[in-house]
Every structure is written in C-alpha cells, then in structure tokens.
Amino acid sequence: MKKTINIFLSFVLALFLTPNVTQAEISPMTAGWQTILSGYYTATEIGVRSHIVESGGGDIRLCINGVNANNLVTVIIMSDNGDGDAVDSFVISHNIGGGTTGITTKYCFPADDARPFVDGTNNKAEFYLKLYSKGQPTDTVYVELQD
C-alpha cells in the first residue's frame, strides 16, 4: 500500500512540475524573411502581373530562379493603391540576365524599404509584381517576394 501511495504521489508531483506548453506564448512571425508571394510566372515581352500581397511594411526583397540563357528578365515591384493600375506606385525595378548558361539557382536582390508604401486602414503595404522578358518572347521563372 505504501508503495502504491508513493507511486501515486510521484505521478501527481510530476504533473505539477511538467511545463505546460499551452501557457507558452507563440509568436506568429519568426525572425528572418517570410515569403508573401511565390510561384512560377511566365514573363512576356508585354509583361505579366502577379496577384496582390500584403506586407507588414518593413523591408521586402525579391528572389528569382530559372532565367533562361541569353535572356533578360525585368521584375518591377509595384505598390497597389486600390483604384486600378494607373494610380499604383512604382517601388523598384530589378533586372537579371540568364548569361550563356541560364540561372538555375535562386538569387535574392538586396532588400528594399517598404515603409513608405504602408497605407490604408489596415496599416499594410500592398504589392504586386510585373515581369517582362527582354530577349526571348517568354521565360518561365520562379519568383518569391519576401517580407
């Protein structure tokens, strides 16, 4: 009987000393870059547009992979102002060439400041990409916009 009581008390004590993971605060965003837009886009001579994504307004950066050999892809980051493309704001333009062998690894451009583009009642910046192929009629590339 004494042994049973000792086992029971040890079990109860272990329950109280075990950390409760439900009490820990979990941060929804971790340090480092968070991808807010990613996917394959076929850049064309007349341009192709991505969908709109929201940014918290810190720094953003563009990463690209898969530019074909002997081609130049231009990616323009635009800030959406909500009333059609004509009133949207230019953020920055990035060019990357495929060289003679093509770009097969991910390349990330230096970070760009997104704070000037935070607007509206949601205190977010809204961005989209325009992609152009300037050497071949089309070029399917993988892009990421990170926040």
Instruction: Report how far residue 92's alpha carbon sits from residue 147's, in angstroms, rounded to the nearest whole number.
Output: 15
pLDDT digits over 61-85, tens only?
999 999 999 999 999 999 998 877 7
Sorted by where each begins, the domain ranges of the chain are 35-146
Q: Which helix (H) or strand (E) holds 65?
A: strand 59-65
Burial class (CB in 10 A: 0-12, 13-18, 19+), 137: exposed
pLDDT band at 31 (very low <50, low <70, confident <90, very high): low
147, containing H or E segment: none
pLDDT per residue over 86-123, tens digit each? 789 999 999 999 988 887 789 999 999 999 999 888 99
How much is the pTM? 0.76
Q: Which helix (H) or strand (E) holds 124?
A: none
Architecture label for domain 35-146:
Sandwich (2.60)
